[in-house]
Structure 1
Amino acid sequence: MTSVCRCVKSKLHSFHIRTAYSASVGSLHIQNIQKRYSTIPERYTDKLLQKARERGFKSVEELKFHLKKEIESKKKEFNKIDPLKELEDYEQRMKMCENKGKMTNTRGPIDSSAPQLPFKTLNSFLNVEKMKQLSKQEVEFLWRARWMEKDNMLNAVVPVDVFNKMSSNAKSNPILVLPLPRDIQAANTEGQGEQGIEMHYIQWQFVGPKTVHCIMTSLAEYKLHKGFARPHTTFQFHLDLAEEKKIVLMNGQVETDANISLQEAQLLLLNVQRFYGAMGDHTTMAKARLKILKDFNTGSSDFNVDLLISLSQSMET
């Protein structure tokens, strides 16, 4: 028994010795690896510095800082959404494509080969120099009288400070999509009318130093023809008398073959004013409209179609 115990002890002792030896060899191996890998940055320092200088940076730290900002910028880019795709998804969700009824007519694209006519200035309608000699009230009277007998025409006299608010927001956010209530008939019903929504694409164009356009096209037509889509309504803002009279003269035309009424064009114009800050930007609703305008133009993930429609339909300013 004693000899057995000695034998077991001897084996245990040998085991412990081998384990301890193996552990010390493992530690040494790990230390060697760590030492080798810790020298990698030093080996590549010269190459990194050369790359930094090629890109105009003085040090590797500057390059790292720049790359960090570049990565953050790329992440924001990847997180952007396509607002028009969001609207398309909304239309599919509401099954607008299956509806038949009073929708805006699509009229084919603009002929890209046709010569482009010059835009009309205020002088096309009134003698600007003569208008400058009149009072503000006389100018307003003559401007409204100019359009009194015209069909499918809208006109307004806009205070210059109100227009400047809209213009400032339009320059940084030149596009928007607005809903228009429509009486529709669903394909799976038998003559039963329903209330639906048709989306319209709004675009601002600063065509001249004294002339600004706001054009409206159905979203369906815009998706078909993009930059060659025919607008159903065009609003022209004339700034010729902005300094002398503190007013901006506006005239708008609704195309007769577009299936859009003057009242519907007015409703769209009303929402243009509200979303572009013409009625102020201090209330909660005004701030919400300006935010969704910016979200739409920047492709922010905060853009929400249902919220856009809700803000359009709300009577709160």
Structure 2
Amino acid sequence: MDPRRSTVPNSNLSSMLRPTSFAARTSLRTIAARSAVSLSGIGVAPPPSMMRRPYSVPSVDYDNKYADKLLKKAQAEGFKSVDEMKAAYKKRADDEVARKRAEEDAAQKVKDEKLAKTIATDTLPSHVKKLGDLVHLDKLQTESPEVIEKLWVGFHSNKDAVSAVIPRDMYLQLHGRAKQYPQFVLPVFHGDGAETFLLQHSGHQTFFTSMLSYQTHGAEAPVLFTLTYYKDLMDDKGIVLVRGEVDLDKLSMDSARKLTEGMRNFYLDQEFVLVEQMYQDPKKFDFSDVMAVARARAQAQADQAKESEGAGEGKSAASASG
């Protein structure tokens, strides 16, 4: 769900998209009242990390040590050699893994379809603008998912807003996890420093507020950034439109994009194990792990940006010399 920007011909935009403004201020208490979400708080005090001394295990060549026994076992089971027995065992194990994976995939598909039916009946709060208030939905429905994505992202490219389009399956996974684990704390890095934000999922929206503000004001802490997920095209087109509104008096667009990406990483990528751990095994949860993986992501992106910048400068220099 990386926020993207793109240019789209104005003729298409004018016929399908409606102009709108971005101005919405609320608090976590208001959100809780609307959605009946508890704001009892999150315990994020990191326990001290345990340092373990590395140890080594002596290497043993079991094939040579037990060669006679292995051969007798293979022959007793009808195999001509130990290698043939190993290959058969490996195939048996691989088949079992494949069978279990197929069962899990089938169960997940049933679960996703059940969730999709539930989502289909869900509605956004009455104060939130509907998709039809933003776009000419009837015209948009005649376009392909690829064109819709370009129109949607292009529509927001000249506005102080975050926008994205995500596949149906990805949103089902995100929504399911968000219902199970509705709150988390995300760091946003700026150079060597970082600011932490409280993330809260509610219905088909995600809210962000400063952790410092939340610790000071509790449920009265103002929401700085809101992501809204429009599922109107989810079944017909297989996509969900995402729109993010930012309180620019208190949060930069750069931070909003980083929060969007961080939410995606921790709820849809390998970092999700830390979200699970915070809820399922809080005694082992260490917020320094969250900081570490977020810092690693930020550093990798910074390095990639430098490489891209260097490559661009190299091409420019080559063109100038040519």
| TM tier relative to shorter chain | 0.5 to 0.7
* Structure 1 position 160, deviation (Å): 1.4
Q: Which residue of 1 aligns with 2:226?
A: 234
Q: Aligned with 2:228: secondary structure?
A: strand
Q: Which residue of 2 aligns with 1:107?
A: none
The structure 1 residue matched to 2:287, chosen from 292, 301, 305, is 305
> Matches of 1:269 and 1:171 in 2, distance apart?
18
User: In the alignment, does 2:191 pair up with 1:198?
Assistant: no
Percent of pairs with identical residues: 23
- Paired residues for 1:133-172 under 5 Å: 133-150=142-159, 152-172=160-180
User: In the alignment, does 2:125 pair up with 1:128?
Assistant: no
Q: Aligned with 1:276: secondary structure?
A: helix
The structure 2 residue matched to 1:272, chosen from 229, 248, 263, is 263
> Matches of 2:145 and 2:133 in 1, distance apart?
19
Tell me the amino acid that sits aligned with residue 275 of structure 1: F
> Matches of 1:307 and 1:136 in 2, distance apart?
37
* Structure 1 position 154, deviation (Å): 1.1
Whether contact under 8 Å (1:178, 1:202) holds in the other structure is: yes
> Matches of 1:118 and 1:306 in 2, distance apart?
38
Instruction: Identify the structure with bigger relative contact order (alpha carbons < 8 Å, sequence gap 6+).
Output: 2
* Structure 1 position 138, deviation (Å): 2.8
> Matches of 1:119 and 1:297 in 2, distance apart?
30
The alignment's TM-score, normalised by the length of structure 2, stands at 0.52
Segments of 4+ moved more than 4 angstroms:
none
Q: Which residue of 2 aligns with 1:222?
A: 214
Q: Aligned with 2:127: secondary structure?
A: coil
Q: Deviations over 1:202-238 (max 9, x none)?
A: 01110xxxxx111110101112232332111111111
Q: Deviations over 1:17-51 (max 9, x none)?
A: xxxxxxxxxxxxxxxxxxxxxxxxxxxxxxxxxxx
> Matches of 1:244 and 1:85 in 2, distance apart?
41
Q: Deviations over 1:220-268 (max 9, x none)?
A: 111223233211111111110011111110111221110x221222112
Q: Which residue of 2 aligns with 1:179?
A: 187
Asked which structure has the greater CA Rg, the reply is 1
Would you tell me which structure has more strand in proportion to its own residues? 1
> Matches of 1:148 and 1:120 in 2, distance apart?
19
Over the residues paired in the alignment, what is the CA RMSD in angstroms? Answer: 2.5
Whether contact under 8 Å (2:189, 2:295) holds in the other structure is: no
Distance 1:221 1:298, change over 3 A: farther
User: In the alignment, does 2:274 pair up with 1:292?
Assistant: yes
Q: Which residue of 1 aligns with 2:244?
A: 252
The alignment's TM-score, normalised by the length of structure 1, stands at 0.53
Tell me the amino acid that sits aligned with residue 196 of structure 1: G
Q: Which sections of structure 2, spanning at least 5 residues, go unmatched?
A: 1-40, 49-124, 302-322
Q: Which sections of structure 1, spanning at least 5 residues, go unmatched?
A: 1-81, 91-115, 184-194, 207-211, 280-285
